[in-house]
Structure 1
């Protein structure tokens, strides 16, 4: 009997078999969770303009990657449909819990209004139409991404999902009366307010490079929503808010954290700081749900960003939050280099499902040429032209100050769900109220109970003013 040697080349998959091999591997763990993926196919069809950095097309690239890797086969898929008037009415009722009726009517009618009418509203409300342009179908676009976030929130509320994903959401800058920073409706605030009907405490985490100002302001006076934002801060970087001194007022005092960073921070420093803060915060606040805004403009080489994070570094934050075992909503946000946005969000969809994605992109991927020359899910993004200005002493001092604030919480606040005030106003609205005279204070019954004595109301007003003066927003006064 002769000895026959077989080279490795003797064993190979035929073409039919190769097409069935999954492009991911399950982690060897018992951490499988029910994950749902929420989308509205119409959202990707809108356009801010040829020179605007916000590109809804990035959502199409993300969807192609997610399906190319076969992740759609292991998640619950929700295609959100808002075509019926009944659905639109339900969504609008939730939107109006936060946004003003005047502003929503403006968005609804802006394509029918004359240019002069629209310009008048823009000037009156100090709206920058370069950042937030008016384009055809704008209101429907807003309804699409907001309803998709509400769909993800509903999956958590009804305990159908442990993790719910909407990459079209996360537009964290929008204010009660106006758009801001490419954001028209604040789907995060609207979604969290809906979540507060069934959940006592919600933790909001923001890893976009820009400060999550719209969400922070909306919940600045409550202890039911803890907001924390990791962002670049300093100079004229938008939105020029998010200092360490912004910690909330009234019942919300110390229920707001900001992590201001400088240019060039890299994976290790960022993720170590993130974990060292989020771990103790979750232990102390004990949230019943976490909403994580995963803006990808914190990646290296982003069109508007100045950090040096890689796809894996950004995803490490998602992985850590997932490991905490708290119901989780993942939302999109910023991100202005579409191919890297899609890579990060696809990778983080894999993290949500506890799978490892192969580095090589799927062969039959539409728009694959965009990912040249490496065709990799994990491109090298860690060394941009910006040096890391975040010294060890700066990061350590920041960590110590934040941990000291967390220690002041003294455990999670208790909540009576039957009568607890759910915030419906942002800080801008509150400040307008605080400028009223004492007589007008009595008429502001959305925040204060009319049964209170006038003297108590006036004292409360004075106390809040003093707190705000101690806050970094003191220049308002």
Structure 2
């Protein structure tokens, strides 16, 4: 084990300002709430905080098709009615509405995961956190399940430049289908998803029998669960499977998607996990001592999402947080009790011991079918994506410079230190 983990945390305040629409369950505002809770517990003093770069279209096209990226960049709420064919083709509309600043929102959350991967690759940190990321349903050419750009796939592609094997773990209540599909034919990424499974539950995939194909056969692991799973059943199963996966697969780095819709009482979920149970999975993964990229994901009861990801930031920092939430800009959301812990719901647990035993046996049996740590032909490492600097002389001086560009000119490394004299940042603006 390392003596003290170096942790990089990525956040851009603009990411929480977008609005999917009045009746849409996805509320990016939960990211502002999480960040202010992290600040109120003084966790920012124990890690390096960065504003991510906005991922360039050419970076997004490392996975997504160029025409899809171009359409996301071009479309807006006022013009969407002019493009019914493209809207249908790229699956934009109901679940994935077009809203103001949608593309910039994608650039920020994807940029955070890409930057996190690059810092890990360059050994500038041991753990990198991007709670804005984890949008695991997006496909190569289409939006899906509130996800437009699959930041996880982009981050994993970045990690594959330096690591022979990447392990992806997903504890969102929904199957991590977009990430699984992207790496279904390769043994260089093992995907492990714990999720509710049923024909009527989105996205409808993730049966234990889905195991990968060709070179990727046995490198996709699915743990399909039923309603009401509780802390003890979930964490026991998680520890057994993930320990065996790490021992067998020997990954060089782990990506952990911490979707908080698997918590009790989630607006779209049906599990019965407490925040401590959810966070125990993070603790288990951290103990392996491997480079670790942690993202958010689903989570639709936003005050519980903020509680959960704050507790998990504490876990990653080896910091126990007092239950009473300190005063912060969003304290009214946590009233009246203002405590970190949430009561678990009383949902019947339909996961019998025999059912969980059968799933565990099937997964472990599949793991026995793979060679220990597949040998990988590593190619020469491609460089991090090079983006040329713009020539100042060519810029139109009359064009308004946005705040993000101005920030870059002030202090390019975008790092926020306590007590920097020459370039003091107000943490509330971070």
Q: Do structure 1's residue 145 and structure 2's residue 109 form an aligned pair?
A: yes
Whether the 8 Å CA contact 1:233–1:262 is kept in 2: the answer is: yes
Q: Where does residue 225 of structure 2 map in the other structure?
A: 261
Measure the CA separation in 2 of the matches of 1:113 and 1:419.
46
In the alignment, what sits opposite 1:54? 26
Corresponding residue for 2:353? 392
Paired residues for 1:377-416 under 5 Å: 377-380=340-343, 382-384=344-346, 386-416=347-377
Question: Are positions 1:283 and 2:255 aligned together?
Answer: no
Deviation at residue 419 of structure 1 after TM alignment: 7.4
Matched, 1:357 2:329: no
Tell me the secondary structure at the aligned position of residue 36 of structure 1.
Answer: strand
Match of residue 36, structure 2, among 39, 59, 64: 64
The equivalent of 1:312 in structure 2 is 276
Aligned residue in 1 for 2:207:
243
So what's the TM-score if we normalise by structure 2?
0.86
Q: Deviations over 1:136-194 (max 9, x none)?
A: 11111110100011111111011011100000000000001110000000000011011
Q: 2: distance between equivalents of 1:416 and 1:113?
A: 49
- After superposition, where does 1:183-198 map in structure 2 within 5 Å? 183-198=147-162
Structure of greater Rg: 1
Q: How many residues align?
A: 382
**Aligned equivalents of 2:3, 2:191: Cα separation in 1:** 26
Between 30-39 and 265-274, report the one with greater CA deviation. Answer: 30-39
CA RMSD of aligned residues (A): 1.6
Aligned match of 2:391: none
Structure 1 pair 144/30, CA: closer, same or farther in 2 (3 Å)? closer
5+ long unaligned stretches in structure 2 = 383-430
Give the superposition deviation at 1:32.
Answer: 2.4
**1:38 maps to what in 2?**
10
From 26, 48, 60, the counterpart of 1:95 = 60
Q: 1:280 to 1:420 in 2, by over 3 A?
A: farther
Summarize the Cα distance change of 1:116–1:64 in structure 2 as closer, same or farther, 3 Å threshold: closer
Once the two structures are TM-superposed, the CA of residue 383 in structure 1 deviates from its matched residue by 2.6
Q: Provide, for residues 382-418 of structure 1, a one-character-per-residue CA deviation record: whole Å limited to 9, x for no partner.
A: 233x210000000011111111111111200111211
TM-score (norm 1): 0.78
Runs of 4+ in 1 over 3 A off after TM superposition: 112-117
Cα deviation for residue 59 of structure 1 reads 0.4
**Aligned counterparts of 2:224 and 2:239: Cα–Cα separation in 1:** 16
